[in-house]
């Protein structure tokens, strides 16, 4: 029996497909190094102790009824203060909307900004924009980014399409690459958007908005700085809707507290939409998050520790790939910049296994790495890139430092078997 056309046409997650193969091998007793998941092993990366205790305290205080539709006032106040102190962004509490993580907020932005058959522009690889575009029944302009630009879109990528799109979906630091916008590129894109909106206003047309997902902004390393459109160009304030939250910087993916902020009239419509869906973050978790964000010492200490731990793992993986590359193996990696992801390349199409099987597709390369090297990584085609892209996302949120050397021993052995 068929369901709706929308449901019938919705593609399943490629990451979940790979996870199914991983789990099948684990069920047979095999040890698999699963670096596919954009999540944290809570035994390695627990949430902050102060946040955990505040959640317990909130439940003990019976904070279990409906939260306010736009988020509890204390949390919106804490978020407003946090943004001002850390990013110099001044947004009032009525310009902030709290939800159960970032996903409902992204969906709400699409639904609020776009009419059916409107057009959204998004770069690939990027996380889930293809699914949201499909769900909202929009048209898409898909810009495939290049490794020489570290897979970040440029103004040259966007400019040819600027007249024909209604929303530009951007993310920095980027999932899946862990790379970031530099100041100049993001400023140029922002200038382009402002100029286009001046033109549209003169013709009484609907504005062009930017969805700016910065959920990883606190996880940058070394000299890498996070930039946002509004700080670079204040005129972007009227056209930018931010997505943010505690999921990544505080390893709190399952706590489900995210927030959007932007123009009040947009936020109000998003609030109305999500009110019908009921995509609120649990009240106790909201109360607890407000308490935690108001403890700058605890926040700073936690961020210092998690950034060091993630960066150490990213560098260890990067150094391992550089060693393999220098030894002549067809692999490469982009130096880690942010988030919990390393962008790696396996140039293995056309290689032949020890059993005489030729690797003809990225799916076959992915499977070979899983079965021979016991390494699970996600190909960029799972994030909308072309099917022949030989770049992959490697996530370190579940990586144990003491196992990385073993991973590279197995990987080198698997690569040596190829001809």
The fraction of the chain above a pLDDT of 70, given in percent, is 100
Task: Report pLDDT digits (tens) over 40-52.
Answer: 999 999 999 999 9
User: Does pLDDT of 265 surpass 90?
Assistant: yes
Task: Report pLDDT digits (tens) over 221-243.
Answer: 999 999 999 999 999 999 999 99
Q: Which helix (H) or strand (E) holds 292?
A: helix 283-293
Q: Of residues 399 and 1, which shows the higher confidence score?
A: 399
CATH topology of domain 5-45+300-416: 3.90.1150
- Residue located via tokens 């220098």: 326
Question: What sign does the dihedral 44-49-53-55 (CA atoms) show?
Answer: negative
φ, ψ dihedrals at 13, nearest 5°: -75, 130
The predicted pLDDT at position 330 comes to 96
The domain segmentation of the chain, as residue ranges, is: 5-45+300-416, 50-295
Please tell me the distance from the alpha carbon of residue 284 to that of residue 287, in angstroms, as a whole number.
5
CATH topology of domain 50-295: 3.40.640
pLDDT level of residue 18 (50, 70, 90 thresholds): confident
123: β partners? 143
- Which of 289, 371, 278 is closest to 81 using CA atoms? 289
User: Does pLDDT of 6 surpass 90?
Assistant: no
φ, ψ dihedrals at 297, nearest 5°: -65, -45
Please tell me the distance from the alpha carbon of residue 87 to that of residue 92, in angstroms, as a whole number.
14
Task: Report pLDDT digits (tens) over 41-85.
Answer: 999 999 999 999 999 999 999 999 999 999 999 999 999 999 999
- Residue located via tokens 């032949």: 352
Tokens representing 53?
């205790």
pTM: 0.95
The predicted pLDDT at position 171 comes to 98
Task: Report pLDDT digits (tens) over 352-364.
Answer: 999 989 999 999 9
The fraction of the chain above a pLDDT of 90, given in percent, is 91
User: Does pLDDT of 10 surpass 90?
Assistant: no
What's the mean pLDDT in 251-273?
A: 97
């Amino acid at each position: 029996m068929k369901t709706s056309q929308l449901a019938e046409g919705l593609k399943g997650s490629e990451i979940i497909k790979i996870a199914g193969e991983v789990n099948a091998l684990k069920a047979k007793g095999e040890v698999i190094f699963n670096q596919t998941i954009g999540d944290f092993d809570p035994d390695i990366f627990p949430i902050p102790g102060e946040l955990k205790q505040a959640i317990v305290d909130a439940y003990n205080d019976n904070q279990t009824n409906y939260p306010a539709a736009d988020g509890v006032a204390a949390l919106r106040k804490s978020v407003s203060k946090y943004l001002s102190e850390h990013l110099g962004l001044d947004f009032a509490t009525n310009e902030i909307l709290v939800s159960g993580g970032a996903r409902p907020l992204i969906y709400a932005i699409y639904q609020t900004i776009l009419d059916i058959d409107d057009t959204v522009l998004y770069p690939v690889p990027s996380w889930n924009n293809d699914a949201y575009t499909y769900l909202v029944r929009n048209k898409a302009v898909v810009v495939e980014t290049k490794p020489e630009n570290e897979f970040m879109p440029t103004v040259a990528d966007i400019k040819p399409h600027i007249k024909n799109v209604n929303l530009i979906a951007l993310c920095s630091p980027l999932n899946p690459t862990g790379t970031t916008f530099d100041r100049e590129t993001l400023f140029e894109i922002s200038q382009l958007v402002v100029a286009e909106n001046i033109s549209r206003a003169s013709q009484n047309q609907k504005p062009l908005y930017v969805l700016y997902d910065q959920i990883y902004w606190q996880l940058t390393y070394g000299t890498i700085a996070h930039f946002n459109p509004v700080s670079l160009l204040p005129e972007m304030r009227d056209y930018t809707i931010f997505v943010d939250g505690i999921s990544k910087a505080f390893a709190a993916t399952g706590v489900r507290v995210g927030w959007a902020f932007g123009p009040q009239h947009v936020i109000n419509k998003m609030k109305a939409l999500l009110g019908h869906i009921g995509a609120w973050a649990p009240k106790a978790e909201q109360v607890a998050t407000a308490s935690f964000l108001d403890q700058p010492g605890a926040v700073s200490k936690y961020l210092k520790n998690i950034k060091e731990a993630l960066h150490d793992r990213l560098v260890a993986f990067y150094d391992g790939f550089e060693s393999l590359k220098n030894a002549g193996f067809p692999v490469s990696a982009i130096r880690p910049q942010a988030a919990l992801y390393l962008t790696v390349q396996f140039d293995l199409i056309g290689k032949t296994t020890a059993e005489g099987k030729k690797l003809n597709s990225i799916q076959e390369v992915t499977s070979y790495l899983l079965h021979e090297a016991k390494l699970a990584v996600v190909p960029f085609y799972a994030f909308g890139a072309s099917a022949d892209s030989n770049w992959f996302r490697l996530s370190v949120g579940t990586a144990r430092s003491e196992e990385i050397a073993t991973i590279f021993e197995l990987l080198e052995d698997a690569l040596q078997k190829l001809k």
